[in-house]
Amino acid sequence: MIDVKYLLTFLIFIKYTKGGKTMFNKKIMSGVLCGFMLLSSASVFAKSFSDVENDPGVGWAKPYINAMAEEGYLKGYEDGTFKPQSSISKTEALILLARMIGVNDDSFADSAEYAVEEFEDALSKYSTKFSEEVSFLLYTGVLDEDELGTYLSNANKNEPLKRYEAAILLTKLLGAEEEVQGNAFVSSTYADATEIPDSARAYVEYVREEGIMQGMGNNANGQPEFWPNTPVTRAQMAKMLYSLIDVLDLSVQTGVIAAIDTFEETVTVTIDGSDIVYNFEPSTRVKINGQEVAAEDLTRGMHVKVTHVAGKLSLIENNVVVDDAVIYGLVSGTKNSGDSKSITIADANDKSKIETYVLADGAKVRVNGAIDNFSKVKNNNYVALTLEDGEVTLVEVIDKNTTAGGTLISVEADGEYTVLLLENKSGDVEEYEISKDGVQVSRNSLDSSLGQLMEGDTLALKLTYGKVTKISASSKKQEISGSIEAITHTTSGTSMTIKSSSKTYDFKVNKSADVIINSTEEGTVYDLRPGTDVNVKIESSEIISIEAASKVVKSQLNGIVKSINPEYSLMVVEDEGKEYSVYVNSNTKIVDSLTGKLPAFKTIEKGRTANVTGSNASGVFEASVIVLQ
């Protein structure tokens, strides 16, 4: 008995990993599927369709239908049927071909996004739900814009795809159109060749020779016929797609351009430390950030994605812009052959993540602090690479353990990474990544955490392989007395401007700051308002303690509602040219004098006139009654 789950595990051989990069190869899958079908006459696929299982007329197509359905290229209907004898529409054919060349695969996620953006205007003329698939075919050169009407116009999109049209599309998918068009006087194998449009005969012969499409049987004289104008059925399409995989041999690799030779029409790409030379074909598309460019627009040092179809360079893309930066890692390989030098480094914390970089002409190498030869850089050295315009201008072999420091600007968390932004003594901003193995934090000699660090803290960092493993933070403490000039509440926190003597200071208020009013009463930052006298204690650039004087001013306001913040139960009312923050609690009564109703606070509209009765004894106007006029 064959274990279906075991077999299906191997059906995911479209992708495999090499050197930390996602590789893509559909030829492998074809071999695996073929082996499975030879192993057993019983179905080994999880997907099956009632009308395929029970229709002996499509028994020949059953393994192909099941295989392609299992891989997600062909789908059945909600009632569990496949309808193998139904024809494929022109739009459906485009969708299937887009799937075959990777529109839904992670390797092409960025390409698919660029494609939709690039061809948005061209597709806006047609009513289609499949703009991503069609855009991808345009992007990869399978379709031209002037062909869109043939497949997407209202008159054509639901029309059955004819067999000769399938031959044309499959040839274009394999990047063989120019080769085929060069065979102007190709002879046809089929007895019904006169029924094949002259412009399609070479395409029909090509797919026959490649084993993707065959004839539909013999005529009375025993001669094979193609039936060019017969619609392609879903069963036939399953067989075509299955046969296509082996010929397609779709593969994707990523690397760095080491050389461009426009005379020989080749590009040399360094992949996993090895140089691979690719020949530009007439059908090769070259893209930079999604835009079609000439081959000579590619430059050495560019990070590129290289796509092969049917053994030919189909697409080369530079969708990654490498900013000027300093990159750290462990050397996993170097190449030094004449004018071409490159270095491959791995992430010290995850050696499966590797990248290759090309050295610029005149790049310097520093070992033990002194200028040295590139040959002195060895595997497992820890290095810092300085990048300019995508090329390495400096290779510096550094110690495993290093130190750094500066003034904290912020702690940024982005997905799986946490990064410290520091300002160094020169005023430059530097970025340091926290080690995934954890970091030891102390602040003012006490155990602490990343969350307790404050902007303005002075940090001393210890790094292992370029990642922060220890932080020693110290804060600068000060105390200021003055009056509040402004106080601002946002979703990210509260900030305060304090005027002391003739100077004005801006501070963030720490979320845990203590607020004391009139020496004894505990309060919050929402009890404070401009004009209140305060004494604040500051660590680094954040207020950690506020002592505020009690101040009774108006007991009634009459003015215009300027803003509403339901989250904090605050609104701003302008009375006689001055703005007041008004706090609303659960006991505040709100009356709309125009309707006589008692509206909710959050429904109060800006611009309404409000008469507010309350008190201001704690530094903020606390409303007891609000009458809207």
Rounded Cα distance between 452 and 364, Å, is 41
Average pLDDT over residues 121-141: 95
The closest of 315, 29, 288 to 173, measured between CA atoms, is 315
- What pLDDT band is residue 272 in, cutting at 50, 70 and 90? confident
The closest of 63, 13, 30 to 245, measured between CA atoms, is 30
Contacts with 264 (C-beta within 8 Å, 6 or more apart), sequence order: none
Domain boundary among 522, 548, 574: 548
Rounded Cα distance between 200 and 193, Å, is 10
Task: Please indicate, yes or no, whether residues 305 and 352 belong to a single structural domain of this protein.
Answer: no
| Contact in structure between 253 and 306 (CB atoms under 8 Å) | yes
Q: Give me the pLDDT at residue 551, please.
A: 54
Rounded Cα distance between 498 and 496, Å, is 6
Helix ranges, 232-385 (H): 234-248
Provide, rounded to the nearest whole percent, the portion of the chain with pLDDT above 90: 54
| Contact in structure between 325 and 393 (CB atoms under 8 Å) | no
Q: How many residues does the chain have?
A: 629
Rounded Cα distance between 86 and 238, Å, is 12
What are residue 222's phi and psi, to 5 degrees?
80, 15
Task: Please indicate, yes or no, whether residues 445 and 518 belong to a single structural domain of this protein.
Answer: no
Contacts with 34 (C-beta within 8 Å, 6 or more apart), sequence order: none
Domain boundary among 86, 111, 145: 86
What are residue 274's phi and psi, to 5 degrees?
-110, 140
Q: CA triplet 548, 550, 552: central angle to 5 degrees?
A: 140
Q: Is residue 610 part of a domain?
A: yes
Q: Give me the pLDDT at residue 12, please.
A: 31
Q: Is residue 255 part of a domain?
A: yes
Q: Is residue 43 part of a domain?
A: yes
Task: Please indicate, yes or no, whether residues 356 and 308 belong to a single structural domain of this protein.
Answer: no
For 189-204, what is each residue's pLDDT tens digit? 899 999 999 999 999 9
Global pTM? 0.57
Q: Give me the pLDDT at residue 394, please.
A: 95
Range of the structural domain that residue 305 is part of: 251-289+301-318
Rounded Cα distance between 573 and 613, Å, is 12
Rounded Cα distance between 427 and 157, Å, is 61
Residue 135 scores a pLDDT above 50: yes
Task: Please indicate, yes or no, whether residues 392 and 406 belong to a single structural domain of this protein.
Answer: no
Domain CATH code at residue 260: 2.40.50.320
Q: CA triplet 22, 23, 28: central angle to 5 degrees?
A: 140
Task: Please indicate, yes or no, whether residues 465 and 422 belong to a single structural domain of this protein.
Answer: yes
Q: Is residue 204 part of a domain?
A: no
Q: Give me the pLDDT at residue 138, please.
A: 96
Structure letter (DSSP) for residue 378: -
Rounded Cα distance between 161 and 231, Å, is 5
Rounded Cα distance between 405 and 111, Å, is 40
Least confident span in 110-119, 215-224, 385-394, 522-531: 522-531
The closest of 337, 335, 333, 339 to 361, measured between CA atoms, is 339
| Contact in structure between 489 and 536 (CB atoms under 8 Å) | no
Rounded Cα distance between 463 and 403, Å, is 6
As a dihedral over the C-alpha atoms of residue 160, residue 165, residue 167, residue 169, rounded to 10 degrees, the angle is -100
Instruction: Please state, as a whole number, how many other Cβ atoms lie within 10 Å of the Cβ of residue 334.
Output: 20
Q: Give me the pLDDT at residue 35, please.
A: 42
Structure letter (DSSP) for residue 61: G
DSSP element (H, E) containing 150: helix 148-152
Task: Please indicate, yes or no, whether residues 10 and 78 belong to a single structural domain of this protein.
Answer: yes
Residue 499 scores a pLDDT above 60: yes
Domain CATH code at residue 375: 2.40.50.140
Rounded Cα distance between 434 and 419, Å, is 6
DSSP element (H, E) containing 168: helix 163-173
The closest of 89, 92, 105, 98 to 119, measured between CA atoms, is 98
Rounded Cα distance between 150 and 452, Å, is 64
Q: CA triplet 378, 339, 294: central angle to 5 degrees?
A: 120
Provide, rounded to the nearest whole percent, the portion of the chain with pLDDT above 70: 90
Task: Please indicate, yes or no, whether residues 569 and 616 belong to a single structural domain of this protein.
Answer: yes
Task: Please indicate, yes or no, whether residues 540 and 463 belong to a single structural domain of this protein.
Answer: no
Domain boundary among 343, 369, 398: 398
Instruction: Please state, as a whole number, how many other Cβ atoms lie within 10 Å of the Cβ of residue 549.
Output: 13
Rounded Cα distance between 494 and 488, Å, is 6
Q: Is residue 354 part of a domain?
A: yes
Q: Is residue 163 part of a domain?
A: no
- What pLDDT band is residue 71 in, cutting at 50, 70 and 90? confident
Task: Please indicate, yes or no, whether residues 7 and 67 belong to a single structural domain of this protein.
Answer: yes
Q: Is residue 178 part of a domain?
A: no
DSSP element (H, E) containing 364: strand 350-367
Q: Give me the pLDDT at residue 132, please.
A: 96
In one-letter notation, the amino acid at residue 340 is S
The closest of 361, 359, 355 to 332, measured between CA atoms, is 355
Tell how strand 493-500 and strand 503-517 pair up: antiparallel
Task: Please indicate, yes or no, whether residues 352 and 377 belong to a single structural domain of this protein.
Answer: yes
Task: Please indicate, yes or no, whether residues 386 and 422 belong to a single structural domain of this protein.
Answer: no
| Contact in structure between 270 and 345 (CB atoms under 8 Å) | no
- What pLDDT band is residue 299 in, cutting at 50, 70 and 90? confident
Q: Which two tokens stand for residue 85?
A: 């004898």
For 204-215, what is each residue's pLDDT tens digit? 999 999 999 999
Rounded Cα distance between 358 and 27, Å, is 31
Average pLDDT over residues 276-288: 93
Q: Which two tokens stand for residue 222?
A: 């025993």
Task: Please indicate, yes or no, whether residues 433 and 391 belong to a single structural domain of this protein.
Answer: no
Q: Is residue 230 part of a domain?
A: no
Query: DSSP states of 583-602 as a string?
Result: EEEEEEEEEETTT-----GG
What is the tally of structural domains in the chain? 6
